Amino acid sequence: MELKKIKDCLWEIPKSYRKGMKVAGHVYAMEELLPALTKDRSLDQLANVAMLPGIQMAAIVMPDAHEGYGFPIGGVAATRYPDGVISPGGIGYDINCGVRLLRTDLRYREVSKQMEALSKALYDHIPSGMGKGGNVKLNMKEVNKVLRDGAEWAITNHFGLPHDLEFTESQGRLKPADHTKVSDQAKKRGHDQLGTIGSGNHFVEVDRIDEIYDEEAARAFGLFPDQIVVLIHTGSRGLGHQVATDYLRLMTNVMAQYGISLPDRELACVPFNSIEGKDYFGAMCAAANFAWCNRQVITHEVRRALSQIFGRSMGPVDVVYDVAHNIAKVETHTIEGEKKKVIVHRKGATRAFGPGFEELPEIYRAIGQPVFIPGSMGTASFVLAGTVGSMEASFGSTCHGAGRAMSRRAAKKVVDAPSLLNELKEKNIHIQAGSYRGAAEEAPVAYKDVDLVVETVHKAGIAKKVARLRPHAVIKG
Question: What is the 3-state secondary structure of 214-266?
Answer: CHHHHHHHCCCCCEEEEEEEECCHHHHHHHHHHHHHHHHHHHHHHCCCCCCHH
CA dist 341 and 333 (Å) reads 6
pLDDT at 389: 96
Cross-strand partners of 24: 58
Q: How confident is the model at residue 357 (pLDDT cuts 50, 70, 90)?
A: very high
Per-residue pLDDT of 275-286, as tens digits, reads 999 999 999 999
Is residue 97 within 8 Å of residue 233, measured between CB atoms? yes
Q: Average the pLDDT over each of 82-91, 155-164, 401-410 and give the range with the smallest value.
A: 401-410
Q: Average the pLDDT over each of 125-129, 253-257, 306-310, 412-416 and give the range with the smallest value.
A: 125-129
Is residue 459 within 8 Å of residue 8, measured between CB atoms? yes
Is residue 82 within 8 Å of residue 350, measured between CB atoms? no
Number of domains in the chain: 1
Tell me which residue range forms the domain holding 147: 4-476
Q: Is 400 noted as a catalytic residue in this protein?
A: yes
Is residue 47 within 8 Å of residue 62, measured between CB atoms? no
Per-residue pLDDT of 12-36, as tens digits, reads 999 999 999 999 999 999 999 999 8
Residue among 202, 325, 400, 430 flagged as catalytic: 400
pLDDT at 443: 87
CA dist 383 and 281 (Å) reads 30
Per-residue pLDDT of 86-133, as tens digits, reads 999 999 999 999 999 999 999 999 999 999 999 999 999 998 766 667
The CATH number assigned to the domain holding 130 equals 3.90.1860.10
Report whether pLDDT(374) > 80: yes
pLDDT at 129: 67
The torsion region of residue 196 among left (phi > 0), alpha (psi -120 to 50) and beta comes to: beta
Establish how many alpha carbons lie within 13 A of residue 334's alpha carbon, considering only the half-sphere containing its beta carbon: 7
Per-residue pLDDT of 386-405, as tens digits, reads 999 999 999 999 999 998 88
pLDDT at 2: 83
